Amino acid sequence: MFDERRIRIITGHYGSGKTEFAVNYTFGLAAAGFKTAIVDLDIVNPYFRSRQIEPLFEEKGIRVISSSIKGLSGDIPALSPEINTVFHDKSYQAVLDVGGDKVGATALGRYHESLDREPYDMLFVLNANRSFTQDLDGAINYIREIEHGSRQKVTALVNNTHLCGETTIDEIMKGQVLCEKVSDALGLPIKYVVAHKSLVPKLPQNLKGEVFPIDIYMKKPWE
Amino acid sequence: MAKELWKGNEAIAEAAIKAGCRYFFGYPITPQNEIPEYMSLRLPQEGGVFLQAESEVAAINMVYGGAGSGARVMTSSSSPGISLKAEGISYIAGAELPCVIVNIVRGGPGLGGIQPAQSDYYQATKGGGHGDYRLIVIAPSSVQEAVDLTQEAFDMADQYRIPVMIMGDGMIGQMMEPVEFRPVAKRTLPEKTWATVGTAGKREPNIINSLFIDPQECENHNIKLFKKYDEITANETRVENYNVEGAEIVFVAYGTTARIVRNAINKLAEEGIKAGMIRPITLWPFPTEAIEAAANQASVKAFISVEMSMGQMIDDVKIASNGKKPVHFYGRTGGMIPTPAAIVEHAKKVLGGAK
């Protein structure tokens, strides 16, 4: 776990749970003792962005880099020059949380020169319960659009199939079947199978991909 | 159909398509942009038309035209954009045309901010535009409810020839929840004999208009509208009562706020305090009778209207409770969201004072 290249890019359909995975991943990296930074590149979603829980990151010594315009209500696609830090300062282990569609991915494309210089890992978070990524064609199309927008290539898949609090093992396995199809079609490995901590013991053994237990941090106001 | 995970805004858009909406006219504004974006992708697939107008004013007048031809039409916006549409909404109400208008409310006044709010309650339920008119105003509290009620909204609009507003705060529009698209109860809908679809030389032309040169005629029109509004009040008022029986304190809350209040009620129960909630699902017609009934209930000591505003619905709660029980208020505004803990504290303070 966490053995990806220094620059990790997290992409996926908005609403796939991409940010929740990115947040958990970042916390895991920091807990493993790495000097960690999270870059919130989401210029598409106005709510539920990783910057929303900035104090939680700071508590754990994680550097948060987001918009150059501070404040939750920022509706301005302003990328901070500070983002370049993670490309230049190689002492950081970096997680880039990218907006969830081809438009959101365009923000990442701006850094293609830096990314050309250093190999990265780009994880595509797949949720088989999202309308546009429910079948093989839809998922491949979405991956291609994000690759096109970001000018980068996905290097691995993450099965994050869920229904918020109503997730069952069957749901996760449904997503696993789709991930395996995408994996075969595109020659991409399934790197992680995400499940809430409470569901992990019930998951079958020998899944393709490592089981990645998560907690929920991106909460709704009544949760 | 199995459940899927949907973002509130796109779920509302898909529900409209499932309800037969084939025309969407709009203009972008956060936090509702996923609605036009989704429509721009899906409507052409369904043989419909998505059009981004040059302004909100243009968009609502395109809705006016589309609705006049008898088509199922929708527009969506967020607070400042709805203000711009207000004139057109009044015209549509005056001309008795069915359409659906979505307002994903953000903080105000003015440009305000993009975080969730409920401070357009007055605008939605008391006017916004000019003249004596009403909209049916529906306030979903979950993405599932948004999906069900958006589909029903088109039927309501057609049944009564009235614009229906779906009023969600930004959270309803932006959050992800499991959803099942399911058919809504069938209504017998009147034929649209008034629509401007061409006479084929067989009848007099239909005229869609809200102008009355003769004041008596205009008054008659208003009286006719209000007969219809009475009928809607009798037939379409929707409300959910949660733990109201035996409650000492009754919250009144809708939308996202109702979800938070539900959590607060459960926390209060853990401390032995009996609290309940009346959740208006239609903001107009307002569930006056449910509040009146609670006001007459011996156990109830007070009401608390909880809103993401400085207190707008509280007026309707006071009118409905008619001085029988005190009505208090707790709210956050400008895009701030009340926490369950703050609501619990406020309830305790009110009960302490009410004893």
Tell me the C-alpha distance between B314 and B305, whole Å: 6
Confidence of residue B2 (pLDDT cuts 50, 70, 90): confident
Of B3, B31, B338, the CB nearest to A163: B3
pLDDT at residue A73 above 70? no
pLDDT of residue A99: 83
Helix ranges (DSSP H) in B46-185: 56-68, 79-94, 121-126, 143-160, 170-174
pLDDT at residue A195 above 80? yes
- Partnered with residue A37 across adjacent β-strands are A63, A94
Q: Check CB contact under 8 Å for A222 and B30.
A: no
User: Are A182 and A171 spatial neighbours (Cβ–Cβ below 8 Å)?
Assistant: no
Contact list, B5 vs chain A (CB under 8 Å): 15, 127, 129-130, 162-164
Pairing verdict, β B249-252 and B275-280: parallel
Each residue's pLDDT tens digit, B279-327: 999 999 999 999 999 999 999 999 999 999 999 999 999 999 999 999 9
DSSP A3-42: -S-SEEEEEE-TTSSHHHHHHHHHHHHHHTT--EEEEEE-
Rounded to an integer, the average pLDDT of A108-124 is 95
User: Are A158 and A212 spatial neighbours (Cβ–Cβ below 8 Å)?
Assistant: yes
Confidence of residue A14 (pLDDT cuts 50, 70, 90): confident
Each residue's pLDDT tens digit, B232-251: 999 999 999 999 999 999 99
Block residue for tokens 């156990």 = B299
Tell me the C-alpha distance between B54 and B219, whole Å: 35
Q: Note the residue count of chain B.
A: 355
pLDDT at residue A161 above 90? yes
Lowest model confidence (mean pLDDT) among A12-16, B52-56, B165-169, B241-245: A12-16
pLDDT of residue A74: 65
The amino acid sitting at B122 is Y
How far does CA B97 lie from the centroid of its chain?
17
Task: Please name which of B89, B231, B86, B97 lies closest in space to residue B154, comparing C-alpha atoms.
Answer: B97
Q: Mean pLDDT for chain B? A: 97
Contact list, A45 vs chain B (CB under 8 Å): 174
Block residue for tokens 């809708």 = B254
Q: Check CB contact under 8 Å for A220 and B337.
A: no
CATH number of the domain located at residue range(s) B240-354 in this protein: 3.40.50.920
Of A15, A47, A222, the CB nearest to B5: A15
Number of CB atoms found within 10 A of residue B243's CB = 17
Chain A with chain B: Cβ pairs closer than 8 A: 69
Q: Check CB contact under 8 Å for A73 and B113.
A: yes
CATH number of the domain located at residue range(s) B4-182+211-236 in this protein: 3.40.50.970
pLDDT of residue B205: 96
User: Are B319 and B291 spatial neighbours (Cβ–Cβ below 8 Å)?
Assistant: no
Domain ranges of chain B: 4-182+211-236, 240-354
Q: Check CB contact under 8 Å for A129 and B3.
A: yes
What percentage of chain B has pLDDT greater than the value 90?
A: 98
Structure tokens at A119: 């190999």
pLDDT of residue A72: 58
Rounded to an integer, the average pLDDT of A145-153 is 95
Each residue's pLDDT tens digit, B63-95: 999 999 999 999 999 999 999 999 999 999 999
Of A43 and B168, the structure prediction assigns the larger pLDDT to B168
Q: Note the residue count of chain A.
A: 223
DSSP B162-200: -EEEEEEEHHHHH-EEEE---PPPP------TTS-S--T
Cα dihedral value B58, B172, B281, B284, nearest 10:
-30
The amino acid sitting at B68 is G
Question: Taking CA atoms, what residue in B is nearest to A170?
Answer: B2
**CA of A25, closest CA in chain B: separation in Å?**
21
Q: Check CB contact under 8 Å for A48 and B175.
A: yes
The amino acid sitting at B20 is G
Looking from the CA of B17 toward its CB, the CA atoms found within 13 Å total 22
Domain A7-214 CATH superfamily: P-loop containing nucleotide triphosphate hydrolases (3.40.50.300)
What percentage of chain B has pLDDT greater than the value 70?
A: 99
pLDDT at residue B226 above 80? yes
pLDDT of residue B354: 57
Of A72, A127, A220, the CB nearest to B5: A127
Contact list, A47 vs chain B (CB under 8 Å): 31, 115-116, 170-171, 174-175
Q: For an interface test with A, which of B3, B176, B344 has the most A Cβ atoms less than 10 Å from its Cβ?
A: B176
C-alpha distances (whole Å) from A71 to each of A49, A52, A74, B56, B137 are 12, 9, 6, 27, 32
pLDDT of residue A103: 86
User: Are A133 and A126 spatial neighbours (Cβ–Cβ below 8 Å)?
Assistant: yes
Number of CB atoms found within 10 A of residue A99's CB = 26
Detail the DSSP E strand segments found in chain B.
4-7, 23-26, 49-52, 73-77, 99-105, 136-138, 163-169, 176-179, 239-242, 249-252, 275-280, 282-284, 302-307, 327-331
Contact list, A134 vs chain B (CB under 8 Å): 4
A48 touches chain B (CB under 8 A): yes
**CA of B341, closest CA in chain A: separation in Å?**
10
Of B4, B170, B260, the CB nearest to A131: B4
A80 touches chain B (CB under 8 A): no
Question: Taking CA atoms, what residue in B is nearest to A16?
Answer: B5
Task: Please name which of A26, A107, A21, A100 lies closest in space to residue A63, comparing C-alpha atoms.
Answer: A26
A138 touches chain B (CB under 8 A): no
Each residue's pLDDT tens digit, B123-137: 999 989 999 999 999
